[in-house]
Amino acid sequence: MQELTFKVQRYLPGKDKKAYIQQFTVPLRQGMTVLDGLIYIKENVDNTLSFRSSCRMGICGSCGMFINNFPMLACHTPVEELGTDRIEVRSLPNFPVIRDLVADLDLLFEKHKSIKPYIISPDTEEAEEPTAEFLQSGEELEGYVQFAYCVKCGLCMAACPTVATDALFPGPQSLGQAYRYCTDRRDAGVEERFHQADSRHGVWLCHLAGACSEACPKGVDPALAIQLLKRAMVFDSLRLKKKKKPASIAQPLAESKPKIDVPEFTVKQP
Amino acid sequence: MKTKAAGSENRHLPNRLGIKSWVWGGNYTLERYLYTLHRVTGLGLLLYITLHLAMNGFRLGGVESWIDIMEILGMSGFKVGEYLVAAAFIIHALNGGRLILQHLGYTLGKPKPPVYPYVDSLRRRRPIVWAMLALIVALAVYVLIVFVT
Ligand code: SF4
Ligand code: FES
């Protein structure tokens, strides 16, 4: 049976001063992912190995790790795709390590929360007690839906060289989400978010290294969202763009008769 | 943007890559390392301007000190330095032009619903970067020929 060498980062708080690498041998199975390899180690070799995972299908975003020097979702990375039998797994860079491969993602969630990642409705009454849907065209939806696929895995933050050097930079995840909401016609929080992004440690510190979009496992393309946010902010300050009109509310459906009459029963009812 | 989570870096093992990630941060491709090149060439040009201003200050010392400094600057090591400054200028100017356009979202295309396998906007527009690099190499070679002849 072919075997894989897993070199895994270990760190036990209170005991270790710094992280170190421990080597494990794992039997290769067909279709095996990096997460499967880690689960094998935990179940068969060393049950003290700590890592985070949940859905095992690239949806929850909890298994982000630095695998062979690239941020990836462990459950979404088949070992065959790595093209080597030596796999090095470290915890995500730019996030503090809690233990072994478990990164502290508080920073990501705090930054995400700080941009108000929800629709700030201009009509608070309608937002509290909705009477109907807000109208939105397909084209408007296409303007942001790509950015709405974010699973908050933090891979983009681990890849970003500005996050690596500036603790106060909001990072690609939250700035991308700021644009996602600013471009939504149902939202009226543009000014607040622009004001927040336009700071000394804000959006202008993005120098388009593009590593965030390269690493994103969901095709969100945060680098594109950030550049579009900058453009929107520049145009807004130069008053070059019309303010977006707030989305209107759908009219109640008109009463209508069914076009085709329901046919009579052809079988006699008992 | 201050967040209380910034404090968690003190509780757990810090793992911020810092400035060393400019040199090598992982197996990323072209743009991430152009980011580094842009900064390095920018810092190089800044250093050159500082030295240039300082050298010009020798004029205050009269004709003799100016001739002395010009003699030193005429040495071959400084010629190589001058060429590196010209090359840094070409890289910084052309890549800077690309960055100005792309920072404003131009040449990147529109957002699209993601379809697997995902290709992001920068990689879709890679030919722009290749064309820019080809132009940089052509200009750098031209300037080298001018320097040598
Ligand atoms: S933008 Fe992509 S990489 Fe960043 S947190 Fe969202 S899903 Fe993860
Ligand atoms: S376990 Fe959910 S994304 Fe990997």
pLDDT score at A132: 85
Write the pLDDT tens digit of every residue in A157-197. Answer: 999 999 999 999 999 999 999 999 999 999 999 999 999 99
Q: Which of A12, A81, A94 to mutate to test the interface with B (most CBs of B within 10 A)?
A: A94
Q: How far is the CA of A153 from the centre of ligand 1 (A)?
A: 5
Query: Which of A253-257, B61-65, B115-119 has the largest mean confidence?
Result: B115-119
- Could you count the other beta carbons within 10 Å of the beta carbon of residue A225? 29
Write the pLDDT tens digit of every residue in A190-242. Answer: 999 999 999 999 999 999 999 999 999 999 999 999 999 999 999 999 988 77
Write the pLDDT tens digit of every residue in A91-137. Answer: 999 999 999 999 999 999 999 999 999 999 888 888 888 888 888 89
Q: What is the pLDDT averaged over residues A19-26? A: 98
Q: Is A156 in the pocket of ligand 1 (CB under 6 A)?
A: yes
- The ligand whose atoms approach the alpha carbon of A221 most closely is 1
CATH class of B29-109+119-148: mainly alpha
**CA end-to-end span of chain A:** 68
How far, in Å, are A106, A197, B17, B103 from residue A234 at the CA level? 31, 12, 31, 10
Nearest chain A Cα distance for residue B140, angstroms = 23
Assess B65–A contact: CB distance below 8 Å, yes or no: no
- The beta-carbon neighbor of B111 closest among A91, A96, A143 is A143
Cβ atoms of residues A104 and A110 within 8 Å:
no
From chain A, the residues in CB contact with B25 under 8 A are: 93, 159, 161, 164, 211
pLDDT score at A190: 94
Where do the DSSP E strands lie in chain A?
Answer: 3-10, 20-27, 64-67, 70-73, 86-90, 97-99, 102-103
What is the third-level CATH fold of A106-237? Fumarate Reductase Iron-sulfur Protein; Chain B, domain 2 (1.10.1060)
Counting residues of chain A whose pLDDT is more than 70, the rounded percentage is 97
The rounded Cα A138 to chain-centroid distance in angstroms is: 23
Quick one: pLDDT band at residue B2, thresholds 50, 70, 90?
Answer: very low
Pairing relation of β-strands A86-90 and A97-99? Answer: unpaired
Give residue limits of the domains in chain A: 3-103, 106-237
Residue B61 has pLDDT above 90, yes or no: no
pTM given for the model = 0.90
Cβ contact, residue pair B110, A142, below 8 Å: yes
Please name which of B71, B21, B95, B40 lies closest in space to residue A162, comparing C-alpha atoms.
Answer: B21
Of the residues A77, A112, A155, which should be mutated to test ligand 1's pocket, given the most ligand atoms within 8 Å of the CB? A155
pLDDT score at B6: 54
Residue A16 has pLDDT above 70, yes or no: yes
Assess B125–A contact: CB distance below 8 Å, yes or no: no
Give residue limits of the domains in chain B: 29-109+119-148
- The beta-carbon neighbor of B29 closest among A95, A202, A214 is A214
Tell the burial category of A244 from Cβ atoms under 10 Å away from its Cβ (0-12, 13-18, 19+).
middle
Quick one: pLDDT band at residue A1, thresholds 50, 70, 90?
Answer: low
CATH of domain A3-103: 3.10.20.30
Instruction: State the closest ligand 1 atom to the C-alpha of A151, by its place in the atom list counted from 1.
Output: 7
Please name which of A192, A189, A186, A184 lies closest in space to residue A228, comparing C-alpha atoms.
Answer: A184
Give the integer Cα–Cα distance in Å for A238 and A231. 11
ipTM above 0.95, yes or no: no
Give the integer Cα–Cα distance in Å for B74 and B79. 7
Q: Is A171 in the pocket of ligand 1 (CB under 6 A)?
A: no
Residue B1 has pLDDT above 60, yes or no: no
Q: B68 versus A251: which is more confidently predicted?
A: B68
Q: Is A72 in the pocket of ligand 1 (CB under 6 A)?
A: no
Q: What is the pLDDT averaged over residues B115-123? A: 94
Q: Is A62 in the pocket of ligand 2 (CB under 6 A)?
A: yes
